[in-house]
Amino acid sequence: MNKPLAEIFPDPPADLNPAAVDAGRIPVHVAVIMDGNGRWAKKRALNRLKGHAAGIEAVRETIRAANDIGVKYLTIYSFSTENWKRPEEEVVGLMDLFAQTMLAEVDELHEEHVRVMTIGRTGALPKKTRDAFDEAWEKTKNNSGMTLVVAINYGGRNEIIDGITAYMRQAHEALAAGGTPEELSEETFGRYLYTADIPDPDLLIRTSGEMRVSNFLLWQIAYTEFYCTEVLWPDFNRYEFLRALLDYQGRDRRFGAVG
């Protein structure tokens, strides 16, 4: 842990005990499907973009809590390949929000030694958004703290297709040079995915009560523990993160073996 539990969770609800956290069983990699911004806004008769803006505080809270408690990788599902189907006004607003937020937050993230990277087909993003994430990467790439992985224009099926394409390219190049292609296995194929060198998630959190993976990290979540909550994303905070963490620590992970 990077901070004492009492400092990370200074004012817990009566039903939560931060001292119950086992410091030796902090998940290395937590992935989050941030769902419910639109429903949060609708309940308040607000524009959907107001819901997305409100969700930024939940992102901040989750990043800080995860980093402070010792999570090494935090992957947040910011924008899927399917999200382009949303109304143009919402998509444009989201892309502007991503750029503004990243530029506003990167200095503090850098001070906390957080490394910021993206996964997905980022070449299709508007230049302003792409440049903001590129700037964040350049500023933080040598940091040794938690890695914040922002999945943007990301789709799990596309990632697998892109991985197969990259592997086949390597195989053709090896054959053309008179060599032997790298033998394909789960381990070697993992190196052709966007998440090469990143361990698979230990815990996947999904908010707003939905029970689906939504094309997120399809290869990587084979043995990931799922935690689903009815809480809408803008209402998710460090104490909801603590609930997910304690739930995770109460499970027996067997990875197909007998317990």
CA atoms of 137 and 110, how far apart (whole Å): 10
Decide: 67 and 2 in contact? Cβ < 8 Å: yes
Q: In 12-71, which ranges are E strands?
A: 29-33
Q: Which residue in this structure is represented by tokens 């350049």?
A: 138
Kindly state the DSSP code that residue 15 receives in the 8-state scheme.
Answer: T
Q: In angstroms, rounded to a whole number, what is the distance separating the alpha carbons of residues 94 and 91?
A: 5
Residues forming beta bridges with residue 226, ordered by sequence position: 204
3-state SS class at 28: coil
Catalytic residue among 11, 17, 22, 35: 35
C-alpha 122/C-alpha 191 separation (Å) is 19
Q: Which of 11, 17, 22, 83 is catalytic?
A: 83
* 3-class secondary structure, 226: strand
Question: Encoding tokens for residue 152?
Answer: 């943007």
Strands across the sheet with 73-80, in order? 115-119, 147-154, 73-80, 29-33, 203-206, 225-228
Alpha-carbon span 208 to 233, nearest angstrom: 7
Query: What is the rounded distance in angstroms from the CA atom of residue 18 to the CA atom of residue 2?
Result: 15
35 is catalytic: yes
Is 17 part of the annotated catalytic residue set? no
Residues with catalytic function = 35, 83
